[in-house]
Structure 1
């Protein structure tokens, strides 16, 4: 079966085409965050060929891949990931997933590197650890010796990673520490400080427009890398969202191209990173529009209801009502466009489709209103 979400994120195809036209042709894409596996307790699963199919649908070239949560340990799953990468004709590159609580954690990390891994994945929520942690420090030190990345889950379900990230970055300058999911657990604390630590990076595998604009405005563009989180979604929506946010804060196509893949290629090769300038700030984002913020707040509620298995009917209805505006209203055109996507989300909900089918049009509407002021025509 295809990657979850792949049949449904086509709703952004026309919008994404505009962003790709701005970016320019022949930009190589390199996804920093994809998984394969069949035993994750959350029920998600994927095979390597399904990731490659999703890359092809989006016209993307490469992805880092690692094991999903494996209740029985990571030795065999890591071996499968490494074999899959070796058989992918360069489309997939493996990260070894390490549980620092496992008695053989460091040995597994060393084994993965010997067999071709290009870094490590650590997941403090599903593998139940916090920072600081002595084995995590050892894994980061090992990555630093080889100038390779360590990708940390830094999304929902954990306390902040905090000062430990800064300490590890300073102590192991060769390691590239990538905080996944826009680093939302630490974005407010670390975002304004990471310019001092070029080896702290953030991936873009997240969906909320306020978080994403915070990421793109407070973190230097050279410290942001594109990511999708497949198979939890497809590849078209996250690439649209990344480009839209980059353009909204005033990034150049050259900076966006580096985020899309050029910088990650340097990370996994152990090369010096590109300096893409300072954080771009909020000056390009425009006015605060309360009508847009109302829609964003209701769509946030709807998305959280879907992710938690609840009924998003009411917040979707309120979001759509929030798009109402007088005929001569200043923001009517933007709200009308967003309303069309919310209506599609409602239709899909009523049709009883997979809940992920509801998410894509809903959060597309969120992105449209959240970036409208920055991208409005003169």
Structure 2
């Protein structure tokens, strides 16, 4: 399945937030190209570019999806797509430490134009302590280039190994993908003292992203979408909503959505955007809105697994019920409108129409992000 189409409500809200931010050169830190991933997702360069266009974004780092038969041909596809993209796609080489010829492939790709590397310890079945990992990071350090690590769930020794690599190779820029959710609680302190340790925001749960934005210095947070696993339009919405909720200033946000990544991949010195902002701005939590956020997170999990999310969305609507007045009630009614759209679209979508069902679930997830970020208020657009 290629990049899922974002629903109209999401597009309207995301574009309004981007317009409010003002001019920014959006540069996505995390996109994939490939046709053979065992998980069934696919993406061509043209589809990634179309996703950037829909989101109103300029450029993206891109790299191969999982290739069970090896990465030489897949890396060549990415390199050629990048050369043909008029500078909009910038290539990372995907390397599988422990595979025969892994370091030779890394050197070959650097010489062919790759800016750095993508390593995926889970799908390519290696530990971060493998000696090839250290060797790949050392190669990147020679050119002050990036190494992007998959850092979702199920990555043993992530924090300890990532910190050690950042300390041993200060010239390399290490990017922990997916908000480093597997070890985020262990990484805030090291991040504050390691300016070459970065985090990308390609993730879908508001609690994880809020912890990232509150506890990690903003100059070390890089906008990312994970296309084709999620549309850039959604990722931009989630990014901007969380920044507003924790109180990151707009001038810093404009650096985080693109300018800082440009420095990371070109070997320039990143700018210091100050210390982590903390969680004080988030304020007191609302139990009704927490109910909405919780059930929409369940809906997202079900939707990605191809399971009917109708009941989870219905339960989220139960959380959105209110007879009150004031800002909280206004936000509850707004998210209920999104959840009602999600219910309607789920009911109308055929059981075998995965893109339509996923678009409906995204409406629910947008409602969940709004519910989890009450300090950012009601979006400035009508549904």
* Partner residue, 2:361: 359
Matches within 5 A, 1:131-150: 131-150=128-147
Instruction: Determine whether 1:182 maps to 2:184.
Output: no
Matches within 5 A, 1:196-215: 196-215=193-212
Say whether the 8 Å CA contact 1:286–1:374 is kept in structure 2. no
Question: Comparing 125-134 with 273-282, which one deviates more in the overlay?
Answer: 125-134
* Partner residue, 2:35: 38
Instruction: Determine whether 1:289 maps to 2:286.
Output: yes
Aligned Cα RMSD in Å?
Answer: 1.6
What CA distance in whole angstroms lies between the structure 2 residues aligned with 1:376 and 1:306? 26
Q: Secondary structure at the match of 1:162?
A: helix
Matches within 5 A, 1:213-232: 213-232=210-229
**Which of structure 1's runs of 4+ aligned residues deviate more than 4 A?**
none
Matched residues, number: 374
CA positional deviation for 1:192: 3.4
Say whether the 8 Å CA contact 1:250–1:284 is kept in structure 2. yes
Which of 241, 256, 266 is the matching residue for 1:244? 241
What CA distance in whole angstroms lies between the structure 1 residues aligned with 2:327 and 2:252? 32
Q: Secondary structure at the match of 2:373?
A: helix
Instruction: Determine whether 1:350 maps to 2:352.
Output: no
CA positional deviation for 1:22: 2.7
Instruction: Determine whether 1:163 maps to 2:160.
Output: yes
Question: Comparing 142-151 with 10-19, which one deviates more in the overlay?
Answer: 10-19
CA positional deviation for 1:18: 3.0
Q: Secondary structure at the match of 1:50?
A: helix
* Residues 273 and 321 of structure 1, relative CA distance in 2, 3 Å threshold: same
Q: Secondary structure at the match of 1:185?
A: coil
What CA distance in whole angstroms lies between the structure 2 residues aligned with 1:365 and 1:192? 32
* Partner residue, 1:11: 9
What CA distance in whole angstroms lies between the structure 2 residues aligned with 1:338 and 1:154? 30
CA positional deviation for 1:300: 1.3
CA positional deviation for 1:193: 2.7
CA positional deviation for 1:327: 4.2
Say whether the 8 Å CA contact 1:226–1:261 is kept in structure 2. yes
* Partner residue, 2:92: 95
Say whether the 8 Å CA contact 2:3–2:47 is kept in structure 1. no
* Partner residue, 1:110: 107
Q: Secondary structure at the match of 1:326?
A: coil
Which of 191, 195, 201 is the matching residue for 1:194? 191
What CA distance in whole angstroms lies between the structure 1 residues aligned with 2:319 and 2:58? 39
What CA distance in whole angstroms lies between the structure 2 residues aligned with 1:17 and 1:87? 28
Say whether the 8 Å CA contact 2:15–2:55 is kept in structure 1. no
What CA distance in whole angstroms lies between the structure 2 residues aligned with 1:294 and 1:356? 21
CA positional deviation for 1:263: 0.3
CA positional deviation for 1:330: 6.2
What CA distance in whole angstroms lies between the structure 1 residues aligned with 2:74 and 2:161? 28
Say whether the 8 Å CA contact 1:85–1:94 is kept in structure 2. yes
* Partner residue, 1:373: 375
Say whether the 8 Å CA contact 2:6–2:233 is kept in structure 1. no
CA positional deviation for 1:297: 1.2
CA positional deviation for 1:376: 6.5
Say whether the 8 Å CA contact 1:11–1:360 is kept in structure 2. no
Say whether the 8 Å CA contact 2:7–2:362 is kept in structure 1. yes
Matches within 5 A, 1:117-128: 117-128=114-125
Question: Comparing 268-277 with 358-367, which one deviates more in the overlay?
Answer: 358-367
CA positional deviation for 1:14: 2.6
TM-score by length of 2: 0.94
CA positional deviation for 1:329: 6.9
